[in-house]
Chains A and B, each alone.
Chain A
């Protein structure tokens, strides 16, 4: 069965610094998508970035980028120039064409002013 593991329940970073959130997954599928979602306190979940498994190039969205290592089944999220508004719970998620989406347990990110 597919699993998604986020090994860091909580992290802190100084404002303007860079932080990397880890995610590993397990699958026997070859065609799948990976997502990072952000859930700010008391606000709704929004998509941060997504990566197609067939693409070798790492996805980037402004200050957010991923390091996708398909062979290692690793999908980390890098946030550059951290801002106070980045404080949130971050969820890594996996979905294949034939299965439901699976979320990790989440990493709570604190931004220190």
Chain B
């Protein structure tokens, strides 16, 4: 089985721009979660989707949004980028919700200049 894939792997943007990141879960997995990883804050939960519905949301501003499609693929969008949004964005998928083990993708490294 193919693992979780994320595109693009690297991205450079400037302040004020917007960005869309994509995540394809493991085949059969219906849940997708997104995380922001920075050296200072560690891993922070952004949001979780299951069957196209947002189930949980972290403490991030409204500039961060996401969605999930009927094939379980997910996208996250960050509008009006700030320098502090530079981070590794990780996507993880699991078969279901609750306490299922999550499988992580390689991440998208975003640099905001």
User: Contact partner of B107 among A44, A99, A106, CB < 8 A?
Assistant: A44
For residue B93, CB closer than 8 A to chain A, the reply is: no
Are B45 and A100 in touch, CB under 8 angstroms? yes
- Mark the stretch among B11-19, B61-69, B96-104 that contacts chain A: B96-104
Are A44 and B106 in touch, CB under 8 angstroms? yes
- Please count how many residues in chain A sit with their CB below 8 Å of the partner chain's CB atoms: 23
Minimum Cβ distance to chain A for residue B38 (Å) = 11
Task: Give A20-43 as 1s and 0s: 1 = Cβ < 8 Å from B's Cβ atoms.
Answer: 000000000000110101000001
> What secondary structure prevails in chain B residues at the interface with A?
strand
Q: Which residues of B contact A52 (CB under 8 A)?
A: 99
Q: List 26 A–B pairs whose Cβ atoms lie within 8 Å, in order of A's numbering.
A: A43-B106, A44-B104, A44-B105, A44-B107, A45-B90, A45-B92, A47-B101, A47-B102, A52-B99, A91-B42, A91-B43, A95-B99, A97-B98, A97-B99, A99-B56, A100-B33, A100-B48, A100-B58, A101-B33, A101-B102, A102-B45, A103-B35, A103-B42, A103-B43, A103-B45, A105-B42
| Residue of chain A at shortest CB distance from B94 | A101
CA distance A95 to B43 in the complex (A): 14
A residues sitting closer than 8 Å to B (CB atoms) are: 32-33, 35, 37, 43-47, 50, 52, 91, 95-97, 99-106
The count of A-to-B residue pairs whose CB atoms sit within 8 angstroms is: 44
